[in-house]
Structure 1
Amino acid sequence: MSGLQTTADGTEVVSTGSEAAALERPPLLVLDAVTGFLDAHGLGSGDLAWERIGDGQSNITYRIIRGGESFVLRRGPRPPLPRSTHDMVREARVQQLLGAEGIPVPQILAVCSDETLLGVPFYVMSYLDGHVITGSAPEHLDTPEQRGDISRAVVETLARLHSVDVTGPELSRLGRAEGYLERQVRRFAGLWEANTLRDVPLVEQVAQELGASVPASQRASVVHGDYRLGNLMFGRQQPATVTGILDWEMATLGDPLADLGYLAATYSEPGAESTVMDLTSVTKQPGYWSRDQLVAGYADRTGLDVSALPWYQALALWKSAIFCEAIYTRYLKGERPGDTFGPTLEEGVPLLLESAAETLRRS
């Protein structure tokens, strides 16, 4: 695994800064820079081995193996980066704060705000040994009973996250919960204009309908922003246990039902219409909870009124369409060579918007 790796989009990893400087497009890892950073923080010793892990379309994650120890390095994509996105320093801080509250997150080991090392800030965290479940489950969790336990763990972990007291001096600075939903609609409507090369009228139509029917938030909580099965690490034991919540890029304070709406909108079940955000194909198998069971289980554990959830699901689908459009535009501009996801978004984004409009009508 160690050494130089070339991929379809050019050279991703190089050994030295001089090699990086000679490239037309900057690499994602410079091994001598990473080695020096790890040395400075007492993390492992000797040569590096590495592999890219995860399925994220935004930030990039590597497993780093050094002297028999494993770490995880997480960084943003190649610049230029949109303003206020891919904030690795903030993402690391969120996990430090939530870890202190007993939420299962990786341990943050070192944070680098110096962009001269890799071109962007990054951080190093502990490596969690377990399973991320998307298309299949590990054998020890792949029975109807254990599948039900996986669904239960997903709901219980979300309810636990949303129970964290956010009034303290540190967590309260993560965001402004008041007006969160209205700001989401305004912000993402603007992001569409900044990240598209085509005219899709349904974006504005859904935005207007969302803005005209914003539900009243019942409480303030930490909102993960991308809470789904594929962002959870499960342990190797029975019953199914979440040992880590991953990918905190979009975390803030806001309405907890935004997370539940996103979970339900991206959760697969038999007979449901598929979209490019159909992110948990494994949950179509017998034993996994249905969307309605997820929602009811969450309501039982939190006491929140979930009757307006279709609005939150529509918001999630609409926001996902806007995120995906940004990916599609980067693909069209040649900034994602070798990408197989980008081409699917020509039709995938309009279909997401149609699904959002249909879901909103149910609210």
Structure 2
Amino acid sequence: MSDGQDYFERLVDEDALRRFLAAELGEADAYEVRHHAEGHSNETLFVTWGDRELVVRRPPPGETADTAHDVLREYRVLEALQGTAVPIPKPVVGCADHAVLGSDFYVMEKVAGDVLRDAEPDRFATPSARQQVGEELVDTLAAIHTLDYEAVGLGEFGHPPGYTERQVDRWQQQIDWATERTAAERTVPELDDVGEWLAENCPEEHEHTLVHGDYKLDNVLFAPGTPPELAAVMDWEMATLGDPLADLGWMLSYWRDAGDPEPATPELTATFMEADGYPTRRELVERYEAATGIEYENDRFYRTLAVYKLAALGEMFYRRYLEGNSDDPMYPRMEQRVPALAERARRITDGDEPL
């Protein structure tokens, strides 16, 4: 049995899933399950059920349902956002019975379209379409941040006061955990400097909104056809109530302007939005401010925090590689990528990589 097949069988008991779907949705003549291997957090399965195309989301096998893998929390958000201005996949059913797949999971309708991960579709390769891609991306973020979260039943979904300070503390702790092992291979003292700068420059007050937690171009899906239409925001497992500018800073940290330095993490950074027609970061900010009425203050802090978080993730990847807990070919590259990210964070704090 191949490693891939073994992993697939750890993800899904096809007979158990079929019985579950039949009980919930009625019997179907056609049934097929495929593993969608993109992403680095929760697992995604594509399921054909009769004439319906469905998606199953579940944690990686062996993981407990902490914040990063709490798929039923994600399902709750999708249910709450039905009928709002935020485009999302339609949730079908959630399941907390581990007898089915060995974990919590939920089922949603599959949305047709494209994720702009490595390149733009040919149909978007015009200046006007590129402009609209950026506008759709930032307008949808504005819709998330201006949503009345109390009205849709998410008033107890998080604790917004102190969110930003907790983010700094949380990611410092993640770096500390990773460096318990990685420091024997090489150290990244610049990360300590960046962490201290963030703690000293953390805004004391911020707006309270629903936040996505991982909002960027490759976590949304564009409908088929033109002009570009953002059809669904995906991957809500990190959603909570908090500081909207943390979402905006994260999105901007992945967005490229023409003339930017080479990416610190080329494996995770698309560059096609440097082409003619895509809005600049500043243009995205101006459109966001106009749509939300929220002023994007403390840009250096929020973009530095975003890069710091990415560095923390990279260092955790590197520790897992060193301990033999992953065969992802990207993980060993973090030996060099994390120092490059730390250097990028320092450039932002020093004003050398402006908005």
Are the equivalent residues in 1 in contact too, given 2:138–2:284 (CA < 8 A)? yes
Distance 1:95 1:180 in 2: 22
Counterparts in 2 of 1:143-292, with a 5 A limit?
143-168=126-151, 170-196=153-179, 197-199=181-183, 200-273=188-261, 274-276=263-265, 278-292=268-282
**Deviation at 1:43?**
5.8
Match of 2:62 in 1: 79
State how far apart, in whole Å, the 1-side matches of 2:196 and 2:2 are: 45
Change (3 A) 1:159 1:39: same
Q: State the Cα deviation string for residues 214-264 of structure 1 (Å, max 9, x = none).
A: 124442111111111101111113221111000001111111111110011
The reply to whether residue 34 of structure 1 matches residue 17 of structure 2 is: yes
Tell me the amino acid that sits aligned with residue 309 of structure 1. D
State how far apart, in whole Å, the 1-side matches of 2:37 and 2:265 are. Answer: 17
Asked whether the equivalents of residues 8 and 35 of structure 2 are also in contact (C-alpha less than 8 Å), the reply is: no
Q: How much has 1:165 moved relative to structure 2?
A: 1.3
Report the RMSD for the aligned CA atoms in angstroms.
Answer: 2.1
**Paired residues of 1:166 and 1:220 also in contact (CA < 8 A):** no
TM norm structure 1? 0.88
State the match for 1:355 in structure 2: 344
Distance 2:154 2:65 in 1: 25
Change in Cα spacing, 1:44 to 1:275, as seen in structure 2 (3 Å) is farther
Provide the rounded CA distance (Å) in 1 between the counterparts of 2:269 and 2:237: 18
SS of 2:169 mapped into structure 1: helix
Is the 1:230–1:280 Cα contact (8 Å) retained in structure 2? no
Give unpaired runs (5+ residues) of structure 2: none
Distance 2:101 2:178 in 1: 25
| Deviation by residue 1:32-75 (Cα, 9 ceiling, x = unmatched) | 12112211211661453233336211111121112232100111
Q: Is the 8 A contact 1:140 1:236 kept in 2?
A: no
For residues 214 and 267 of structure 1, the distance between their equivalents in structure 2, rounded to whole angstroms, comes to 23
The match for 2:318 is 328
Q: Deviations over 1:74-99 (max 9, x none)?
A: 11112244844300111110111122
**Worse-superposed segment, 167-176 or 206-215:** 167-176
Aligned match for 1:91, one of 62, 70, 74: 74
4+ runs of 1 displaced by more than 6 Å? none
Separation in 1 of the partners of 2:121 and 2:12?
30
Are positions 1:341 and 2:324 aligned together? no
Percent of aligned pairs sharing the same letter: 32
Instruction: Say if 2:30 and 2:51, in contact at 8 Å, map to a contact too.
Output: no
Q: Would you say the 8 A contact 2:182–2:315 is kept in 1?
A: no
- Gaps (5+ residues) in structure 1? 15-26
| 1:151-196 superposed Cα distances (whole Å, 9 cap, x missing partner) | 1111111111111013348211111111110111111211222334
Counterpart of 1:121 in structure 2: which amino acid?
D
Q: How does 1:81-160 map to 2 (within 5 A)?
A: 81=64, 83-160=66-143
Supply the AA of the counterpart residue of 1:50: V
TM-score by length of 2: 0.90
User: Does the CA-based 8 Å contact 2:182-2:318 persist in structure 1?
Assistant: no
Residue 355 of structure 1, CA deviation: 1.2
Measure, in 2, the Cα distance between the counterparts of 1:232 and 1:148: 16
Cα gap change, 1:44 to 1:179, in 2 (>3 Å):
farther
Aligned length: 345
Once residues 110 and 317 of structure 2 are traced to their aligned partners in structure 1, the CA distance between those partners, rounded to angstroms, is: 28
Map of 1:14-53 to 2, 5 A cutoff? 14=9, 27-42=10-25, 45-46=28-29, 48-53=31-36
| Residue among 303, 322, 326 paired with 1:313 | 303
Higher helix content, 1 or 2? 2
Relative distance call for 1:71 and 1:315 in structure 2 (3 A) is same
Comparing 62-71 with 73-82, greater Cα deviation is found at 73-82
Note if contact 1:229-1:280 (Cα within 8 Å) is conserved in structure 2. no
Deviations 1:282-331 (A, max 9, x none): 21222111222212221222222224112101001111111222222222
* Whole-angstrom CA distance in 2 between matches of 1:83 and 1:93: 15
Aligned partner (choices 6, 9, 13) of residue 11 of structure 1: 6
1:253–1:311: structure 2 CA closer, same or farther, 3 Å change rule?
same
1:149 to partner: Cα distance: 0.8
Distance of aligned partners of 1:96 and 1:87 in 2 relative to their CA distance in 1, 3 Å threshold: same
1:223 and 1:252 in contact (8 A); partners too: yes
Q: Which residue of 2 aligns with 1:18?
A: none
Residue 41 of structure 2 is aligned to residue 58 of structure 1? yes
> SS of 1:283's equivalent?
helix
Tell me, yes or no, if the aligned pair for 2:43 and 2:59 is still in contact at 8 Å: yes
Amino acid at match of 1:253: L
1:210 and 1:315 in contact (8 A); partners too: yes
